Copies of this chain bind each other. A is one copy, B any other.
Amino acid sequence: MNGRFFATYHVRADSGTIAARAQAIAVEQSVEMPLEAIDTPEILRDIVGEVADIADLGADVFAVRIALATATIGRDGAQLLNMLFGNTSLHDDVTLADVEIPPELAAVFGGPNHGTAGLRRRVVAEGRALTCSALKPQGLSPERLAALASRFADGGVDFIKDDHGLANQAYSPFADRVRACAGALRGRTTRYVPSLSGSLDAMRAQLMLARQEGIDTVLIAPLLAGFSTFQALVAGFPDTAFMAHPSFGGAARVAPDLLIGKLFRLLGADAVIFPTHGGRFGCTPDTCLRLAAAARGKLLDLRPALPVPAGGMALARVTELLDFYGSDTMLLIGGSLLAARERLTAETAAFTSRVAAHRYR
C-alpha cells in the first residue's frame, strides 16, 4: 500500500487564505506537525498529505482535494476515519465531502458480503422494491414485540427491524427478544432484523444466538459501534447481512465540553486531550474552561480526569496557559518541540522546567 487516495473537503475561506488553509488540512490529516521539522525525505514524499486541487465553489466555499497516503490506514476501519477526518472534524469551517476509494482500500474492507442481491434472495423479492418496518416502542416486552412482528409479517413486509433504540434493556433483553420474534416469524419469508448493541464481545454473542434462531440479517449503527467493531463483525460473520443505522451520524454537534470533558470521563478516561483556544482549533476560552471544569470538577463521586489542552501550542504560551488552566492540568506540546530539531531536548527541558517553576496566581 504505497499509493495515494483522494479526500475532498469543503472549506469556508476567502481566496486569499484558501491555499494556506488547504495545506494545513493536508498536514493535519497526515503527519500533524511542521514539515520543516521532518528530516526524512521518504516521509515527505510518501506520507505527508498533498493538496491536489482547489476549486472555488462560490459563496466563500472551496473544494480542496487532498492526496492521502494509503499506507497510513493500516487496514483498520476506525483508522480510515481517523486519517480522513479525525482532527479536521474539529474545525468548524470544514466538512468532509467525498473520498475516492482506491482498489487497495476496497480490497482491504471488502464491501457488502450480500448486498442488494443477497437481501432480495432472502425474501424472494425480484423486480420490485423491498419493504421494511420497525418494532417499537421500546419498553414493550419480548412477547409484545413478537406479536407486533407477527402482525407486520401478516401484512407481507419483507424485513422487520428492531427500533435502533432497542438494545439489551431489562424490559426486553436481546436473547429473549430474538427468541420471541424469530419464533413468531419462523417458517415465513419475512425477516426479523435484530439490533446489535454493546461491545464486540456482546455483539458476537448476540450474533451467535441470532444465528441459532435462524436470523440471517442484523442491524448495527457503525458510528455507535465503531468502524473497527463493524469491520470485525462483517469479517467474522460472512453469512450474515448487516443493515447500517445512521444513529449518531451528526456527532460533531455535541458540545465539546460535554463530549470530551464529561462523557469521556464518565466512560473512564483518566485524561482528556482537547483543542485549546488560541491554537489550531476554534474552541473559545469559555468552552475550554467549561471542558476543563467538566473533566476535573465535582461530578458525584467520580474521580477527576486530567484536562490536557493541546493543538498547536508552543513554549511561548506555557505561562499563559498555566495561569489559565491552573496546576491540575497536563500541557501537551508536540510539533513546536519537534520543530526545534537538534535542539529538541533543550527545548523540551525548557518546557518542563518552565512548567515546574510556574508560580500560580
CB pair B86–A248 under 8 Å, yes or no, is yes
CB pair B358–A129 under 8 Å, yes or no, is yes
| Chain B residue at minimal CB-CB distance from A108 | B266
- 9-residue interface stretch from A15-23, A53-61, A179-187, A329-337: A329-337
Residues of B within 8 A of A91 (CB): 250
Is the contact region of chain A dominated by helix, strand, or loop, or is it mixed?
mixed
Instruction: Report if A288 contacts B (CB, 8 A).
Output: no
Given A170-B74, A246-B273, A256-B246, A344 and B268 contact (CB-CB distance below 8 Å):
no
CB pair B246–A90 under 8 Å, yes or no, is yes
In order of increasing CB-CB distance, the 7 nearest A-B pairs are A155-B348, A226-B226, A252-B252, A234-B268, A89-B250, A111-B302, A115-B303
Which A192-215 residues have C-beta < 8 A from chain B?
Answer: 197-202
Chain A, interface size category, equals: 35 or more
Contact of A136 among B86, B331, B334 (CB under 8 A): B334
Instruction: Report if A305 contacts B (CB, 8 A).
Output: yes
Copies in the complex: 2
Instruction: Report if A301 contacts B (CB, 8 A).
Output: yes
Given A138-B47, A325-B129, A358-B129, A267 and B222 contact (CB-CB distance below 8 Å):
yes
Which of A105, A161, A256 is most buried by chain B, counting CB atoms within 10 A of its CB?
Answer: A161
CB pair B272–A332 under 8 Å, yes or no, is no
Instruction: Report if A62 contacts B (CB, 8 A).
Output: no
Per-residue CB contact flags for chain A residues 139-168 toward chain B (1 = under 8 Å, else 0) read 110001000100110111111010111011
Instruction: Report if A131 contacts B (CB, 8 A).
Output: yes
A234 to B329, CA, bound (A): 21
| Chain B residue at minimal CB-CB distance from A334 | B134
Per-residue CB contact flags for chain A residues 272-305 toward chain B (1 = under 8 Å, else 0) read 1111000000000000000000001001111111
A65 to B194, CA, bound (A): 31
Closest beta carbon of chain B to A200's beta carbon, Å: 4
CB pair A200–B200 under 8 Å, yes or no, is yes
Residues of B within 8 A of A328 (CB): 116, 129
CB pair A131–B352 under 8 Å, yes or no, is yes
CB pair A300–B106 under 8 Å, yes or no, is yes
Per-residue CB contact flags for chain A residues 64-106 toward chain B (1 = under 8 Å, else 0) read 0000000111111111111101111111101111110101011
